[in-house]
Amino acid sequence: MWKKNFLFRASEATPLTESENELFHDTEPAMDSAGLTLDKFLSVWVQGEGEEPTPSVFTSVYVRTATLDVAKKVGFLQPLQGRSHEIKQMLTHGQKQFLRHWFQTHAQQAWESSEDHFRDLFELE
């Protein structure tokens, strides 16, 4: 199985260089938000068939929101969402545009081989 994570600040269209695992792996769950300076993130997990580094087809997308106090290494990581309407609502226009462009340039064959329901998630409205 091929998989890749794109971690965005909630309102930005370009992902961070770190993945969700790199940024959130060593964080503790916050018990409450008092005294925390929380940044909002959107984590996009894409799965497909094939081996690293290039997939042969994209099969699914999951998105989750997270908040993190980077300095204190604590935060809140929400459950993954996999329903099409939720994903479309969670991704900003700029994030959809970035992801669509990444798929088309880094794995064009996988993009073209993917089913319509996958490609439709990244339609620019």
Is 24 a member of any domain? yes
pTM for this predicted structure: 0.89
* Domain presence at residue 125: no
Give the integer Cα–Cα distance in Å for 73 and 100: 31
The encoded tokens of residue 55 equal 């997939």
Q: What's the structural domain count of the chain?
A: 1
Domain membership flag for residue 40: yes
- Tell me, yes or no, whether 98 lies in a domain: yes
In a domain, 30, yes or no: yes
Is 123 inside any structural domain? no
Residue-number span of the structural domain to which 18 is assigned = 2-117
26/92: higher pLDDT: 92
Confirm whether 21 is domain-assigned: yes
pLDDT(14) > 80: yes
E strand or H helix at 23, and its extent? Answer: helix 20-24
Domain annotation covers residue 124: no
125 pLDDT above the threshold of 80: no
Q: What are the C-alpha distances in Å from 42 to residues 30, 39, 108, 109?
A: 18, 10, 24, 26
